[in-house]
Each structure stands twice: as C-alpha cells, then as structure tokens.
Chains A and B, each alone.
Chain A
C-alpha cells in the first residue's frame, strides 16, 4: 500500500503538469495550422478549457450533486422531497444551531471588524506601530484547533477553593469571585467560543484595514484639520467613509467565516450545552451517515453565503475599475 501511495503521489505531482504541458504544446501546433481568424477565436477557449474542466469536475459537479442528494434519503435510493429541509428547519437541535450561527454572524463579525478598525486607527498614530501590530496579528497564523486548545486552558475550571489553573478563573479569583465554568454555563459558553473566534480574526481585519488606511493621503487629513475638524471628527467623517469599501470587503469575509465556523466549536465543546452551529451540525449529520440531511444543511449554508459572495465580488470589481 505504501508503494501505491508513492506512485500515486509521483503521478499527481509530475504527471498532471506534464499532461497539461503536452496538451498546450500539441494543441498550439494544431491551432497554428488553422486560419488566422479561427485562431484568435478558439485560442482563449482552448487555454481556459483545463481550468474550466477542473472547476467543473471539482466544484460545479459536487455542488449540483449536493443539491440532488439533499432531496434524497440517506441511502441515496429514493426521492423524499423537502423532508431533509423540513428536518433542518423544525428539529430543536438544528434550530439551536441556527440560533447560534446567528449569534456568531452578529457578534463575531461586528467585534472582529470594529476592533480591527479601532486598533488600525489607533496604531496608525503611535511610534511602536509595527510591534503592536505583530502582537495583534500573532493569533492569525495559529490554526483554529491550536487556538481552541490554548483557550481551553485559559477557560479551565477547577473546584472552588482549589488553585485555579485557568487564567481567567485565576484572575476573577483575585477579586474574590467563585470560578466560572465558562464552556459549560449556557450564559457564557457561546460568548466564550465567539470570543476565541474574534481573537483569531481581529489581526486579519486590522492588517487589511490598516493597509487601506495608509493609502489615504495625508493631505486630505491635513485639509480637514485646517478646516477645524478635531481628531474624532476626522475619524468619523473623513477616515471611516474613505475606508468603507475595505470595511465592506472585510465585513463580508468575516460574515462568511462566521457562517463557516466549525473547528473552534468542534474542539472546545463539540456542540454540547447548546453550542452547536450550522457547520458542526452538517458534520454530525455526515458522521451519522444522514447524507441527505447533511447535504440540505450544506445547501442552506451555500444559499446564505451566495449574496455575501456577490457583494464581495462586486466590491472587488469596483476597486479594479477605480485603479
């Protein structure tokens, strides 16, 4: 079996590019013999075909297949209409996961973008900017699983009256409060999970917003100051509107992240104590071999994300046009 895998790896790494190269070389020789007018027409399609082909096989086909499966039973033997969707929108567990995903959408997105904006603006005005930015950005490259494990330690709970090894409970112990079981208690657990998400995302938002902040000409700010605006007014009336396209892109990216949230919840609670989100729900349905239900969840998630994607792509196009 080991040898088979090596062979497969070699074929994939060396073989596929070779085949593509061969396709282009041979194809070009054929095209060159065609009449000039046909050449110009056919060449773009010819060059795009492998990419379009791969996208069709690996993205479009699975997408369509998912939609089909979502209307079929778990053994994929019979059509069952909207039963999988009905399950998703009526079963108490999936409704909880919908509610939680909504919490993620609102709080994760708002705080990640808002804090990213505030930090970017504040750090723009200090001498130790790059050092502070590195500190804020550090959680970004950490994988969500590692971040979750770090925060599991931070949220650790020991019985009242014993030494608290979790940083948070040790801190609230200093002011004489009893420890809190952050991940067990329903009033704190979703907030705790979302907080971890924000912790890993703020750095990303900050970096993007900060880059766009640097692009704002200092003359504009200078002019505002001369006109008598104070610093708060400058941030509110000049900087923020100029940053708005960037904030929209970062915001929609965060919204998509919020909808896709999986790893943090899976690692820290696995959905226990009412912390399930849509993506963990989809995963458990797969695990339980309810492929139809999992596909239905996937379709719902996809439909929810599409408008955000459209907004994002429009923004990118507008930015392209402005350049």
Chain B
C-alpha cells in the first residue's frame, strides 16, 4: 500500500507502474449515491483494467487540507474544496491539477461544450470564479452531477391550477379554493444544520430580486445584511413563512424536519399547496407517502420576483471531482467521468441530474429539472455553503429566529453585520 501511494504520487515516472493501473478516489457518498457511483465506475474498470480504490470519506476537505499542509499523500481524485479561499490556496500550492491537463485539449473542449454553461463558464468570462473552481482562467474541478433548488412542489390531485407567473401571484393564491389550509408547507429542522432549508428559500428570493451581483457580493461578505437588498430579501421570506401563509404556523415550520415538510400536501384534507425544495425531495415524497413523481406530484420553477433581467438566475448545487495527483490512471478516470456515457449511468440510476446537458432522463421530474438547468443564465451556488462557517451558522440561525419572531428582524440583521465583520476579517 505504501509502495502504491509512493508510486502514484511519484507521477507515473515508473512508466507502467502502479500509477497507470491503480487510482485512489475519495467520495462523500454513501448508500444509493455510492451505489450509483460504483455503477459508473464498473465499465471503466472492466474496459481499462484500472483498479479504482474507492473510499467514502465525509471529512475529505479537512483531511485534504491537513494532507496539503503537512505534505503527506493525497488521494489521486477527490472532491474539490468549496471554500473560495481554499480553492485559491490549493491551486497556488499546486495541490489541484487543472482539468485542462487532466482531459487534454480536445476532451476539455468537448466537456465545456457539453456541460451546463453555468457550471463551466464564469459570468462575463471572468478569469476567476472560485465558486465553480476557476482560477486564472483554468478549471480545477470536474462537474459530474447537479441538482436544482428553489422548485415549488405540489400534489397534482390538489393543485390543479396553472403555475403562478410571479411571486406576488403565488402569495395571492387562495388555498381554500383547492381545499388546502395554507399556501405553503415548510420544515426548517435539520439537526445541527437546522435552518438550511430556510436559507435556500431566501437565496432564491435574493438572487432573483436583487440580482446575481448583489447575491455574490453578499456571499463574499461585501454586502451587509442590513443593506436594503438583503433586508428586502428577509422581508419577502417572512411573507412566505408568515402565520397566515404557512401550514401550522412558525412553530410547525421550525419543529418539522425538512424531509417530512411536504407530507401534509398529501393528507386529506391537504395542509398546504406547495413545498419549496430542491430536486432531491422527490425521493422523500416517494418514501414517506408512496407517491410517484409525474403522476402524483410535480413542480413548477421559482416564479419571477418581478425583475425580469434576473429571471435567469437559478439556484443549484453540484458534485465535482478534482485531481490531486497527475497520474496516467487518474487522468483516464477524469476523462471517463467527463463523458456522456459515464454521466448517463448516473442519470439512469436516478435521484440526480448529470452535469452534461444532453443526457436522457426516464423520470419526468428530472427531465424538466434538466430543462431548467439548461435554460439558466446563471446557475448560482447556495449562499450559506460558501460563506465562512461562523457566518453560515449565524445566517441559518437568524432565519430560524425571524421565523419565530418577525419583530426581531432589525436586531437580527444588525447582529449578522457584526458576525460578518468578524468572520470575513479573520478568514
């Protein structure tokens, strides 16, 4: 094992040594996601004879950071960092090998052409966009999967109307017309990460209301929470979770786990019309209520916030791989994962979108989600995930606090400014 690591980090100088027949890969996936990844790897291993040593590591970013700092062995391939500061520092230390190198120029061009543009192209052609792993014009993460957030899910047997064109139209809906109690269901509880589902909702508001530049500045700590734009975002969010609009009132939204939040849509009488959540929630509906995507439930895209120039901003997240050791085997695997054949296996196993535009989906939900990703002008990341972690925690908890007590909004925003000043100063 030691010999193997030594060879693989040696960069294939031994020519036909272990590095061209073995590749070590870390992933955070388990369960169905891990199974899907193994399905993706199977044809690669049998056709190339390269053995993939796969480890599930849920703490990979920290361990990679330690490994890079200490100069110890790294896996050949593992997820890239999400923290923009980390992306820059790992690139400058040479720990991340560029995707251009890994794929070679033809395959790289094909990858960029085939993948959702928002995942591979910085807005306005900027040479740095650490949120999608672009530094100095070069790409350092290979996008393999993606999900779309900010979708409004509904029970097809209950909501028979047409999708609202604007957010105001959505808020003006009369749930009793469809026999439901309230417009929205919500569930913000998620153990130690409670509050993230609420943050998705406000992210989707702000990026469409005040635009991608404000949104990105806000993630980067350059836009204060007390600024008019962010405050307006909070106020709009509070309309969505007001006692008048949310099923069971704020206590229910705060006490309900995100995975069960949509269940009242399928009760008789239905508790609510809509749940705002990402593509992955379809699996929860199926597990909790035995309902089928497409026939029992469906979704519509986030309605416009009344600012048509920002309607093309879509909130998504992605899974990626980065290459940490430039070996022949690692290159081959990176090249393989960028192909349509590989990503089609992910799409076939279900539960996710691939990163390539032209995949086919048997599931009608993912087919439509793919259309949304495809038509997105900017596929914007989730704000909290890219803020310093103390900022993220304070941001998430502020959403819980204002949901509980809308009167505390100004106090909360002032406090967030305080955290922001401290968090970004030290990072």
- Interface residues of chain A, those whose CB is within 8 Å of chain B, are 1-4, 73-74, 87, 91-93, 156-160, 162, 179, 181, 183-185, 266-267, 269-273, 284-285, 287-290
Contact = CB atoms under 8 A, between A and B. Distances in A.
A284 B390 contact: yes
B400 A157 contact: no
A285 B2 CA distance: 35
B55 A270 contact: no
B151 to A, nearest CB: 24
B426 A183 contact: no
Interface in B384-427: 388-390, 393-394, 397, 400-401, 404, 415, 418-419, 422-423, 426-427
Given A157-B252, A290-B390, A3 B195 contact: no
Contacts of B55: 1
A69 to B, nearest CB: 14
B404 A273 contact: yes
A185 B255 CA distance: 10
Contacts of A93: 394, 419
A183 B400 contact: no
Contact of B252 (A159, A269, A290): A159
Contacts of B397: 271-273
* Shortest Cβ-Cβ A-B pairs, 5 listed: A159-B248, A181-B251, A157-B255, A288-B390, A270-B192
B2 A4 contact: yes
Contacts of B252: 157-159
Interface class of chain B by DSSP: helix
Given A157-B251, A288-B390, A92 B1 contact: no
Nearest to A290: B426
B400 A273 contact: yes
A269 B191 CA distance: 7
B254 interface: yes
B19 interface: no
Interface of B: 1-2, 55, 191-195, 247-249, 251-252, 254-255, 271, 388-390, 393-394, 397, 400-401, 404, 415, 418-419, 422-423, 426-427
Contacts of B191: 267, 270
B389 A288 contact: yes
B417 to A, nearest CB: 12
Contacts of A157: 251-252, 255
A162 B255 CA distance: 14
Given A92-B418, A157-B255, A181-B255, A273 B249 contact: no
Contacts of B422: 87, 91
B22 to A, nearest CB: 13
A181 B254 CA distance: 9
25 contacts: A1-B55, A3-B1, A74-B426, A92-B415, A92-B418, A156-B255, A157-B255, A158-B248, A162-B248, A181-B251, A181-B254, A181-B255, A184-B251, A184-B255, A266-B192, A267-B192, A270-B191, A270-B192, A272-B195, A273-B400, A284-B393, A287-B389, A288-B390, A289-B427, A290-B390
B421 to A, nearest CB: 11
A26 to B, nearest CB: 32
A288 B397 CA distance: 15
Contacts of B401: 273
Contacts of B192: 266-267, 270
A162 B194 CA distance: 23
Contacts of A73: 426
A93 B398 CA distance: 12
B248 A160 contact: yes
Contacts of A156: 255
Given A157-B255, A289-B427, 11 more contacts: A2-B1, A4-B1, A91-B422, A157-B252, A159-B252, A181-B255, A184-B251, A184-B404, A272-B195, A285-B390, A288-B388
Nearest to B194: A272
Contacts of A185: 251
Contacts of A273: 397, 400-401, 404
Contacts of A160: 248
Contacts of A159: 247-249, 251-252, 271
Contact of A288 (B254, B404, B423): B423
Query: Which one of A92, A184, A289 has the highest number of Cβ atoms from chain B below 10 Å of its Cβ?
Result: A184
Nearest to A73: B426
Contacts of B415: 92
A318 B386 CA distance: 56
A323 B418 CA distance: 58
Contacts of B400: 184, 272-273
